[in-house]
A and B are shown apart, each in its own frame.
Chain A
Amino acid sequence: MRPLSPQALREALRGLGQAYPRRQALLLEALHLAQAQWGWLGPQALEAVAQALGLPRAEVKGVATFYDLFEFKPPGRHMVQLCSSLSCMLQGAGALQEALRERLRLSPGHSSPDGRLSLKLTEGLGACDRAPVMMLDGELYGPLAEEEMMRLLEACR
């Protein structure tokens, strides 16, 4: 994939700039854009963000690593976010975690051996009435039964 240059990043952020009196406020949005482009935030991506906003690299890295949604190693091709909050645990999310581990060798924070899927446990997706819930590439599914989850994940190539 063609890397997002600092110039292109600056261009993408231009429209937002007027709302904020300081450039650093654009940092989270810049990191989101960079991650959307590369799929994760490697040294190159962090460097591009630092240059685009004129911020020290250490500052960019320090801020980025505070937040759970940023990736610092290449993820699988599809992102599975399984909710691990109490509402979902009460409705069987623990068994779904177990199924992912046993049937797909997918554990939290890791990718499947074939590189298709990455699993992240999340702290709630704001859909506790549909527990247990999963977000697959940004789309919500729930209430989710084990077999339905397996079908959805097997359809991911």
Chain B
Amino acid sequence: MSWLLRAAAEPTLSYYQSQGGYEALKKALRMSPQEVVEEVKRSGLRGRGGAGFPTGMKWAFAKADPKEPRYLVANADEGEPGTFKDRFLMERTPHLLLEGMVIAAWALAARQGFIYLRGEYTAPYRALQRALQEARQAGFLGRDILGSGLDFDILVHRGAGAYICGEETALLESLEGRRGQPRIKPPFPVNQGLWGQPTVVNNVETLANVPLILQMGAEAWSRIGSRDCPGPKLYSVSGQVLRPGLYELPMGSTLRELIYGHAGGLRPGRALKAVIPGGISSPALTPQQLDVPMDFPSLQRAGSMLGSGAVMVLDDTVCMVGACLVAMEFFERQSCGKCTPCREGTGWLRAVLQRLEEGRGSADDLELLSDVARNIAGKSFCPLGDGAAVMLLRALERFGEEFQKHTRGRCPLKDRVAS
């Protein structure tokens, strides 16, 4: 099965066009901008960056704001540990992103687009620059695109190493040349984004779905995947499986199918301990939850989230306290420092996890962990602190016995995160 990856064999424009590339753009330009928005709405496409917001609705909100100019931003700050789908898309099929952006620009009447790219992504940077040049030469970008009257171009804006810039308002701050600290919402970026103007921020994978929707038609596209959460989905699988990799499946495929059917299952002699289904900020699931469909509503009901669709598999050699410690070290380092509960709380949680892992903890520490975590969740501008807190609270519930053991002495597993 191949939708987003159908032209991923070569990144060139000629190959992309040989696979039907830029036909969706031609089709879109024969429709009115409003019709394009309606088509995307009808498809039921939900944002692939993590929040799952309906894309067509976001576009309609931005269009309803009369301020001009409007901006379009591709969020390519793929920083969620475990995630590597957008890197793959940009390196292997960059024109799919560009085509999606030009269609979105037509729908939104945007004249300037930005790709906010992680500073660490050197190879995608080169691939995008080459693709942009090809697209300009072929008339898919620039003035009066394919005679439609649309003037639109795209600039790649390089980030410089800050996880928080994946959060859309922090991204906008960073794009404007400031420290990447989130803004309070509302106002939302669709009304006051870049330089106070209406701005649509969409994830790379979201925009990559747009040409598919136009080409296949919303109805056909929405027959892929779950009924209430349609479309293809790129799942990044990493951790302790035999075949880690990127798998494109219909949205709502189960974890069991993904881990055992596609990623080859676990190493011989190992048993499954936990699965993190949507990047480091998503609460870990137990082996009893493997039949959950991997889509936004189902994972929410299961007490986790789809996030970026980054599945990390942990086998029985891994210490959960150690895994939470690695995660918390990350959150502490990457908290932007703006909100006290997140800035101070992630540091506290890390310190308590560390002494538990080293066998210096006490029975009171588990209560302390939940107390601090509950005082972070819901008390900051952006979801970074929430992710850290909820991830830990669920781990305490689901793997409580292992945490208990740590209050009585050194970690029962030799290394904190063994392999």
Contacts and interface: CB of A to CB of B under 8 A. Distances in A.
Interface of A: 16, 19, 21-22, 24-29, 31-32, 62-63, 66-70, 81, 84-87, 89-92, 94-95, 122-131, 135, 138, 140
A66 B163 CA distance: 11
A2 B160 CA distance: 24
Given A16-B155, A67-B180, 9 more contacts: A22-B176, A24-B176, A66-B179, A69-B161, A70-B161, A86-B323, A126-B87, A128-B238, A129-B236
A87 B368 CA distance: 27
Contacts of A131: 238-239, 244
B174 to A, nearest CB: 7
B109 interface: no
Interface in B236-294: 236-240, 244-246, 276, 280
A63 B334 contact: no
A32 B238 contact: no
B326 A86 contact: yes
9 contacts: A26-B177, A66-B336, A67-B159, A87-B238, A91-B419, A95-B419, A124-B80, A124-B82, A126-B86
B124 to A, nearest CB: 8
Contacts of B301: none
A137 B310 CA distance: 27
Tell me what chain B mostly uses at the interface: helix, strand, loop, or mixed.
Answer: mixed
B238 A129 contact: yes
Contacts of A21: 195
Contacts of B78: 126
Interface residues of B, number: 60
Contacts of A125: 120
B162 A19 contact: no
Given A85-B280, A90-B318, A126 B160 contact: no
Contacts of A89: 326, 417
B118 interface: yes
Interface in B161-183: 161-163, 174-180
B30 interface: no
A89 B240 CA distance: 11
A86 B82 contact: yes
Interface of B: 78-84, 86-87, 112, 114, 118-123, 153, 155, 157-163, 174-180, 195, 236-240, 244-246, 276, 280, 310, 312, 314, 318, 323, 326-327, 329-330, 333-334, 336, 415-417, 419
A24 B83 CA distance: 30
A122 B121 CA distance: 12
Given A62-B179, A129-B244, A67 B326 contact: no
B84 A128 contact: yes
B120 A94 contact: no
Nearest to B310: A128
Contacts of A126: 78, 83-84, 86-87, 118, 120-121
The residue among B82, B155, B323 with the most chain A CB atoms within 10 A of its own CB is B82
A87 B119 contact: no
Nearest to A130: B244
Contact of A87 (B123, B157, B312, B415): B312
A91 B160 CA distance: 26
A86 B276 CA distance: 10
Contacts of A84: 326, 329-330
A138 B155 contact: no
Given A28-B158, A66-B179, A126-B118, A90 B312 contact: yes
B342 to A, nearest CB: 16
A63 B79 CA distance: 19
Contact of B177 (A22, A81, A92, A94): A22
A126 B279 CA distance: 12
A122 B120 CA distance: 9
Given A25-B176, A90-B314, A94-B417, A19 B153 contact: yes
Contacts of B329: 84
A29 B121 CA distance: 14
B314 A94 contact: no
A90 B238 CA distance: 9
B81 A63 contact: no
B87 A67 contact: no
Nearest to B163: A123
A16 B177 CA distance: 13
A67 B195 contact: no
Contacts of B419: 90-92, 95
